[in-house]
Amino acid sequence: MEKDRQAVPAWGASWLLPTNFTTAWGARAIPDKTYKNGKWTGCYTASLVPDRQHAVGDWGKLQKWINSNLLPIVLTNYNGASCEVTTVHDGDYHACWTPNASYGYLYIIAWED
């Protein structure tokens, strides 16, 4: 299904979204360091602020994939100073993310073919 630029998620790395998707989700997340016993674990959690997320289409299956597969990968590879775009493909599900050198935000876009 061909999408015009008005029908893409308002948040996240929507500039990385291809035009041939059926469902998409974007978010601007706030990564937080994870501490255990007073020491940094090297992993991050993310605050996904409700008003900084947006989905297009029926995204129930995509949401399950994001929560169980995508977010653990994204959060173990976070580097806030980077401009690098990371991409993952998993069958019909795809995602790109980048801190965009923001030193505090993570821009995520995920879509289903």
CATH number at residue 85: 3.30.450.20
> What is the model's pLDDT at position 10?
79
Reported as a single tens digit per residue, the pLDDT across 16-75 is: 999 889 999 999 988 877 767 777 666 677 788 888 999 999 889 999 999 999 988 887
**Residue 109 and residue 12 in contact, taking contact as beta carbons nearer than 8 Å:** yes
How many structural domains compose the chain?
Answer: 1
Q: Would you say residue 6 has pLDDT above 70? A: no
Reply yes or no on whether the pLDDT at 86 is more than 70.
yes
DSSP string across 53-73: EEEES--HHHHHHIIIIIHHH
pLDDT of 2: 43
Predicted TM-score of the model (pTM) = 0.81
pLDDT at 110: 95
Provide the residue range defining the domain that includes 26: 5-112
